[in-house]
Chains A and B, each alone.
Chain A
């Protein structure tokens, strides 16, 4: 089975984010980057499928030069080769623009399965995978918890709301967006990193790919969440206070 995993590079968690001068994106100087978390699980799922059924895992990443670090890590964990779409303009593209590039770069690969993370940690749109599937003309399923492969088809488990799951059987080729935390990630090893050095990375320049139409969605403003303190003190006897608290939790905040 040939599996392509689309991975994205995002700022490491807990980074100190600053807004850049334009106000349209974050200041990227001094930031460290890592693999988008749901994508790490997509990669893990791909590696496990390969271990079970054989085949090939290809990592696919669109982004600037620094992305090669994340590619190297994916290769170190066990991906067989990689495709790097080199571009510096990710922030100015909309989902369709990105998906167009990804689709163009892999259209000749004839993959059996394409995996992406459910969404990205930075933008959190959760659409790239779905649009990519549409562009490639293959079926897709989202928020996948489990994948079982049979010959020519797969069975997947989708997460729905409220603890409900949906089991779907679908033909191959297909695209799945993988939920975070569905398996145990493996750790990168020294041997993996050394082997990664000899693995093939196909570099595709964004300029060589068909140009996408102008973005239909653009970022207006990026800002840090404004902090508001809304502490309410509930008075009365403990019994009364508890009753009021339950009331508020039920009807105001709606958490119970």
Chain B
């Protein structure tokens, strides 16, 4: 309880002023309002909790490794690292609001306690004592930062209005921003008056009301993320684009509410509608129906209306099938989301639900599935074409004696450009003196069907390939295709132990000192989604390219790289609606002025081949990093004075 003497108040006017005491009527009123506010909060929050807890359990959720979870919590929640990194200014403003809330927790608790005469912080305490006068000042600094930040965010949302926040102006966001601002102002204003002033009582009540009104607004607005997102981040699957196993005979992916898992429900309720996912989505950016934020909100809408036990299909009123099949699985959304929402398990889950039950009818898709069933490759070519290519290139056949198995993949085996990449990479391997061989028989790794949600064909392909691996005693694979790398390294694991696998950029980077070093032209490097975001290999391809030229980055590079449009099986689904993703990216790459576009994925390569020609009169040359390296080697070996010192 505060018993400030007038003398003191006059001597140090700048201290936090609280009413010296409260009448019994005030206490009753306060208690009533608190109960009302809490009832308002729980009435709505209870349904959210029930929708989360009654959802199906995630079949493969493990709390371990806890260390990783604690780190994510510390880094992404407490430090707000991702929020700040990806949108520095608003991110910092958000961080201040967040840290301010943490700092205020104690002050707010004390605020209500003091209303019942139970205050435990003494605002009159000496400035030096930790939990007293000092704490009020400490909180005041934050109050100032929060007030400035929230005002800034308010201006951004209502006047600058970035399109990613949505076309509709959210008035409730305005109300909440106002409440937070008022909360801070009422707190700061109390420093300018003596405790005995009647104003102190007014401010005290205003401050309390701000909190009591705020609380019931949380559960049905995006501010639910205040409560849920720290949990969502702590409980995230922790693996990029994780595709959970199907459980039992009735699980076909996300078909109805019954298939929604607890993690999916938790994530759906955590979305803060910031639009970071949409801002970076290649589909949303080129006028497709798909908007990753809407997918998440669609699931939330479904849960709100029908709950997790409903047998209504998830695709239909709440989410569109068309949208789900426009996703390139580039993973920008999942990478960007500040509250730990994992879009890909949801989008791929919806596709699985549609494909595994036969609900998805698409001529191109059916053709792809039948080609993979019958021919074992996505291009629907005869396996003899592959044999011919191997013979023509005189590629050695893998017999267990060589160190590496060079995996061709569909593109490397059948696509003309892909074949050139293989031929070049074989030259590099020969130059480095690495022993390798190619398999006599190889099926598609199953990447396109895995991402399109066809578990039947994927399982067949994975099992057939794993059988070949076992027969041929393959232990180490190197391949030119990041999609193959991902599928072999992660997705095959559902059906057996798969060999070690490496992308050719990673392989070449390990031997970079042995590659010739020349001062070549400028090369703009495009990060393939499946090598970058999926695998974190950003530096290796750049290091390899740096041996042959000057590597430059396009405006969107590394984690923020913009998809070529081929992933997620979309390379096989025919014409896109809206603008072509590959054209947007090709223009961006060409605009850097580099004379060479360096690619590291045969799918990117085939997309850009057409896109560069279509969007530019004098397009830069398009080459895979293996082709660039093979060229440098060829140059160096024909001019020995140059090559000898490096080789």
Give the interface of A toward B (CB within 8 A): 12-14, 34, 184-194
Which residue in chain A gives the minimum CB-CB distance to B449? A187
Task: For A12, give its contact among B357, B374, B457 (CB under 8 Å).
Answer: B374
Contacts of B252 in A (CB 8 A): 190-191
A13-B375 in contact (CB<8A): yes
Known contacts: A14-B382, A185-B370. The answer to whether A194 contacts B249 by CB under 8 A is yes
Question: How many interface contacts (CB-CB < 8 Å) are there between A and B?
Answer: 46
A188-B373 in contact (CB<8A): yes
Cβ < 8 Å to A, chain B residues 323-372: 355-358, 363, 365-366, 369-370
Instruction: Sample 6 A-B pairs with CB under 8 A, ordered by A number.
Output: A13-B374, A13-B375, A14-B384, A187-B370, A189-B356, A190-B252
Contacts of A192 in B (CB 8 A): 358
A189-B375 in contact (CB<8A): no
How far apart are A161's CB and chain B's nearest CB, in angstroms? Answer: 29
Contacts of B455 in A (CB 8 A): 190
Contacts of A186 in B (CB 8 A): 358, 366
Contacts of A185 in B (CB 8 A): 366, 370
B384-A187 in contact (CB<8A): no
Q: Could you tell me the distance between the alpha carbons of A186 and B373 in the complex, rounded to whole angstroms? A: 12
Which residue in chain A gives the minimum CB-CB distance to B356? A190
Task: For A187, give its contact among B246, B249, B369, B383 (CB under 8 Å).
Answer: B369
Q: Could you tell me the distance between the alpha carbons of A13 and B380 in the complex, rounded to whole angstroms? A: 11
A13-B366 in contact (CB<8A): no
B319 near A: Cβ within 8 Å?
A: no
How far apart are B66's CB and chain A's nearest CB, in angstroms? Answer: 34
Q: Could you tell me the distance between the alpha carbons of A187 and B249 in the complex, rounded to whole angstroms? A: 19
Q: Could you tell me the distance between the alpha carbons of A13 and B358 in the complex, rounded to whole angstroms? A: 25
Contacts of B383 in A (CB 8 A): 14
In the complex, which of the residues A14, A189, A190, A192 has the most CB atoms of chain B within 10 Å of its own CB atom?
Answer: A190
How far apart are B7's CB and chain A's nearest CB, in angstroms? Answer: 82
Q: Could you tell me the distance between the alpha carbons of A208 and B358 in the complex, rounded to whole angstroms? A: 38
Q: Could you tell me the distance between the alpha carbons of A190 and B456 in the complex, rounded to whole angstroms? A: 5
Contacts of B366 in A (CB 8 A): 184-187
Report B162-175 CB contacts with A as 1/0, cut-off 8 Å: 00000000000000
Interface of B, helix, strand, loop or mixed by DSSP: helix
B384-A188 in contact (CB<8A): no
Q: Could you tell me the distance between the alpha carbons of A57 and B457 in the complex, rounded to whole angstroms? A: 24
B454 near A: Cβ within 8 Å?
A: yes
How far apart are B251's CB and chain A's nearest CB, in angstroms? Answer: 9
Contacts of A191 in B (CB 8 A): 252, 356-358
Contacts of A13 in B (CB 8 A): 374-375, 382
A34-B358 in contact (CB<8A): no
A193-B456 in contact (CB<8A): yes
Report B236-247 CB contacts with A as 1/0, cut-off 8 Å: 000000000010
Cβ < 8 Å to A, chain B residues 126-153: none
Q: Could you tell me the distance between the alpha carbons of A93 and B594 in the complex, rounded to whole angstroms? A: 69
How far apart are A32's CB and chain B's nearest CB, in angstroms? Answer: 9
How far apart are B250's CB and chain A's nearest CB, in angstroms? Answer: 8
Which residue in chain A gives the minimum CB-CB distance to B386? A14
Task: For A189, give its contact among B246, B355, B370 (CB under 8 Å).
Answer: B355
Contacts of B355 in A (CB 8 A): 189
How far apart are A186's CB and chain B's nearest CB, in angstroms? Answer: 7
Known contacts: A13-B382, A14-B383, A14-B384. The answer to whether A189 contacts B357 by CB under 8 A is yes
Q: Could you tell me the distance between the alpha carbons of A192 and B358 in the complex, rounded to whole angstroms? A: 8
Task: For A34, give its contact among B356, B374, B456 (CB under 8 Å).
Answer: B374
Besides A34-B374, A186-B366, 11 more A-B contacts (Cβ < 8 Å) are: A14-B375, A14-B382, A14-B383, A14-B384, A185-B366, A187-B369, A187-B370, A188-B456, A190-B356, A190-B454, A192-B358
How far apart are B1's CB and chain A's nearest CB, in angstroms? Answer: 69
Which residue in chain B gives the minimum CB-CB distance to A185? B370
Q: Could you tell me the distance between the alpha carbons of A14 and B381 in the complex, rounded to whole angstroms? A: 10
B358-A189 in contact (CB<8A): yes
Contacts of B365 in A (CB 8 A): 187
Contacts of A14 in B (CB 8 A): 375, 382-384
Q: Could you tell me the distance between the alpha carbons of A186 and B357 in the complex, rounded to whole angstroms? A: 12
How far apart are B10's CB and chain A's nearest CB, in angstroms? Answer: 80
Contacts of B369 in A (CB 8 A): 187-188
Contacts of B457 in A (CB 8 A): 187
Which residue in chain B gives the minimum CB-CB distance to A198? B249
Contacts of B358 in A (CB 8 A): 186-187, 189, 191-192
Contacts of A188 in B (CB 8 A): 369, 373, 456
Contacts of B356 in A (CB 8 A): 189-191
How far apart are B256's CB and chain A's nearest CB, in angstroms? Answer: 13
Which residue in chain B gives the minimum CB-CB distance to A34? B374
Q: Could you tell me the distance between the alpha carbons of A191 and B255 in the complex, rounded to whole angstroms? A: 12
How far apart are A13's CB and chain B's nearest CB, in angstroms? Answer: 7
How far apart are B610's CB and chain A's nearest CB, in angstroms? Answer: 27
How far apart are A18's CB and chain B's nearest CB, in angstroms? Answer: 15
In the complex, which of the residues B355, B358, B366, B375 has the most CB atoms of chain A within 10 Å of its own CB atom?
Answer: B358
Contacts of B384 in A (CB 8 A): 14
Q: Could you tell me the distance between the alpha carbons of A193 and B459 in the complex, rounded to whole angstroms? A: 12
Contacts of A189 in B (CB 8 A): 355-358, 454, 456
Q: Could you tell me the distance between the alpha carbons of A103 and B382 in the complex, rounded to whole angstroms? A: 36
Cβ < 8 Å to A, chain B residues 249-307: 249, 252
Q: Could you tell me the distance between the alpha carbons of A194 and B356 in the complex, rounded to whole angstroms? A: 10
How far apart are B495's CB and chain A's nearest CB, in angstroms? Answer: 14
A187-B454 in contact (CB<8A): yes
Which residue in chain B gives the minimum CB-CB distance to A35? B374
Contacts of A193 in B (CB 8 A): 456
Q: Could you tell me the distance between the alpha carbons of A194 and B373 in the complex, rounded to whole angstroms? A: 17
Which residue in chain A gives the minimum CB-CB distance to B357? A191
How far apart are B46's CB and chain A's nearest CB, in angstroms? Answer: 36
Which residue in chain A gives the minimum CB-CB distance to B361? A186
Cβ < 8 Å to A, chain B residues 373-418: 373-375, 382-384
Contacts of A194 in B (CB 8 A): 249
Contacts of A34 in B (CB 8 A): 374
Contacts of B370 in A (CB 8 A): 185, 187
Which residue in chain B gives the minimum CB-CB distance to A14? B382
Q: Could you tell me the distance between the alpha carbons of A186 and B370 in the complex, rounded to whole angstroms? A: 8
Q: Could you tell me the distance between the alpha carbons of A13 and B383 in the complex, rounded to whole angstroms? A: 9
Which residue in chain A gives the minimum CB-CB distance to B255? A191
Q: Could you tell me the distance between the alpha carbons of A14 and B371 in the complex, rounded to whole angstroms? A: 13
Contacts of B373 in A (CB 8 A): 187-188
Q: Could you tell me the distance between the alpha carbons of A254 and B445 in the complex, rounded to whole angstroms? A: 45
The 4 closest A-B pairs by CB, nearest first: A187-B369, A190-B356, A14-B382, A189-B358
Q: Could you tell me the distance between the alpha carbons of A7 and B618 in the complex, rounded to whole angstroms? A: 56
How far apart are A44's CB and chain B's nearest CB, in angstroms? Answer: 11
How far apart are A101's CB and chain B's nearest CB, in angstroms? Answer: 28
In the complex, which of the residues A185, A188, A192 has the most CB atoms of chain B within 10 Å of its own CB atom?
Answer: A188
Q: Could you tell me the distance between the alpha carbons of A34 and B460 in the complex, rounded to whole angstroms? A: 14
How far apart are B351's CB and chain A's nearest CB, in angstroms? Answer: 12
Q: Could you tell me the distance between the alpha carbons of A184 and B249 in the complex, rounded to whole angstroms? A: 28
Which residue in chain B gives the minimum CB-CB distance to A194? B249
Contacts of B363 in A (CB 8 A): 184
How far apart are A135's CB and chain B's nearest CB, in angstroms? Answer: 32
Q: Could you tell me the distance between the alpha carbons of A194 and B249 in the complex, rounded to whole angstroms? A: 7
How far apart are B488's CB and chain A's nearest CB, in angstroms? Answer: 22
Contacts of B374 in A (CB 8 A): 12-13, 34
In the complex, which of the residues A12, A13, A184, A191 has the most CB atoms of chain B within 10 Å of its own CB atom?
Answer: A191
